[in-house]
Amino acid sequence: MFVYADNAATTKISEKSLNAMLPMFTEEYGNPSSLHTVGQKAKEYLEDARARVAKCINASPNGIYFTSGGSEADNQALRSAAYMGRCKGKNHIISSKFEHHAILHTLNALEKEGFEVTLLEVYSDGVVKPKDVENAITDKTCLVTIMTANNEIGTIQPIKEIGAICRSKGVLFHTDAVQAVGHIPVDVEEMNIDMLSMSGHKFHGPKGVGALYARKGILLTNIIEGGAQERRKRAGTENLPAICGMAAALEEAIENMEQTTEYVTNLRNKMVEGLKDIPKSRINGTMENHLPGTLNMCFEGIEGEGILLWLDQKGIAASSGSACTSGSLDPSHVLLAIGVPVEIAHGSLRLSISEYNTEEEINHIITTVPQVVSYLRKMSPVWEKMMKEEE
């Protein structure tokens, strides 16, 4: 049996999304910037996709800029807000310790350019406190960027409240909503969001495409210079197949959201029930306000990499946290940020499921994970030492 349980890293493309892409390769292959009929037809598809994506987050189509993905949207959002701030003599940015590296590394780069960055605590429940945001804002603050839902532990942040605070203080508010869009309701008006990043491949659309939403009046800084595409804010011939695929996937996800949430939450709860009693294990972050499909656990005395390799042998594709840090032996910055001790953070496992998973697959996970954990512990000197110390 093969079980794909790594949907926070990327998802399988949906049939509807794929079918929306195919004609863009074979028939509608015009360049939207061309003046001839084929080009103008492509332009129509492009603007239609823009309007549909905008509608999905209750934005105006003029606020949607297509990018190469979530990372590019994050980079562009942060640089734009920072440089707008600098023009007004403001150089302070507020974010949190458990953001995606597309945010954290961009902030590092901006620090080298003279910006000051405050990274807020996220506490053991994995949630940023709006009060902390309020207290951190100074008259130099030009941007607050807090993710809508965390990619490793799945906790959802109080975005509406944080947005309201930023608005009342006249500070721009960006949210990396890559894990949230298509999974939970996201409304830029209701949630007081000025800028937002999304990515097609996290909601059963194609890879290499995303969008940046920026409210009217925000002056974007180009990350890619060149032609006049995307109202001169993102050069390069538009990836029309991917853009159409993303629009179709997002509409489908939102149309089915209620039933998907119920189905996936049930499977997730079953997984929690089946795994929570493994000795010396913990669930990371609160499960209260949470993405339906993500579960992050730690198992003491063993390494996440070992768990993953053995699960892979048993047909289960999972992750030890972020796909971006796998390959490095550092424990997850997210788990450290929520106060998990370093030695325990090493033994982390993220299972992220979707509506394509079945109950049978969840049963396979529930029987296999405890076997793998106890097998690895039998060979672990760390575990042996822990057990000796307990005697």
Task: Give ∠ CA 70-138-120 in degrees, rounded to 5.
Answer: 50
| Of 102 and 120, CB closest to ligand PLP | 102
Least separation, in Å, of the C-beta of 202 and ligand PLP?
6
Give the single-character DSSP code of 202: G
Spatial distance between the Cα atoms of 245 and 201, rounded to a whole number of angstroms: 10
Least CB distance to ligand PLP at residue 71 (A)? 3
CB of 296 to ligand PLP, least distance (A): 13
The question of whether 142 is a catalytic residue gets the answer no
Catalytic residue among 87, 142, 244, 324: 324
- Please identify which residue in 53, 98, 143, 176 interacts with ligand PLP, judged by CB under 6 A: 176
**SS3 of 190, please?**
coil
Selected binder of ligand PLP within 210, 285, 301, 347 (CB under 6 A): 210
Q: Restricting to residues 68-107, which ones interact with ligand PLP according to CB under 6 A? A: 69-71, 74, 100, 102
Pairing of strands 348-352, 294-299: antiparallel
Interface with ligand PLP includes 179 (CB under 6 A)? yes
The CB-nearest residue to ligand PLP is 70
The tokens of 36 are what?
């001839």
Phi and psi at 171, nearest 5°, equal -110, 140
Burial 102-114 (b: 16+ CB within 10 A, else e): bbbebbeebeeee
Among candidate residues 172, 101, 162, the one with its CA nearest the CA of residue 135: 162
Q: Is 147 in the site for ligand PLP (CB under 6 A)?
A: yes
Rule CB under 6 A: is residue 145 a binding residue for ligand PLP? Answer: no
Which candidate, 68, 337, 354, places its Cα nearest to that of 211?
A: 68
Write down the residue that tokens 């990499």 correspond to: 305
320: contact with ligand PLP by CB under 6 A: no
Q: Bridge partners of 3?
A: 316
Contacting residues for 272 by C-beta, under 8 A, at least 6 apart: 283, 287, 295
Name which of 248 and 344 has its Cβ closer to ligand PLP.
248
Binding mask 269-308 vs ligand PLP (x if CB under 6 A, - otherwise)? ----------------------------------------
Only segment of 65-73, 109-117, 246-254, 281-289 that touches ligand PLP (CB under 6 A): 65-73
Phi, psi of 60 (to 5 degrees): -85, 140
State the nearest-atom distance from the C-beta of 99 to ligand PLP, in Å: 8
Interface residue list for ligand PLP (CB under 6 A): 69-71, 74, 100, 102, 147, 151, 176, 178-179, 199, 202, 210
**Residues with catalytic roles:** 324
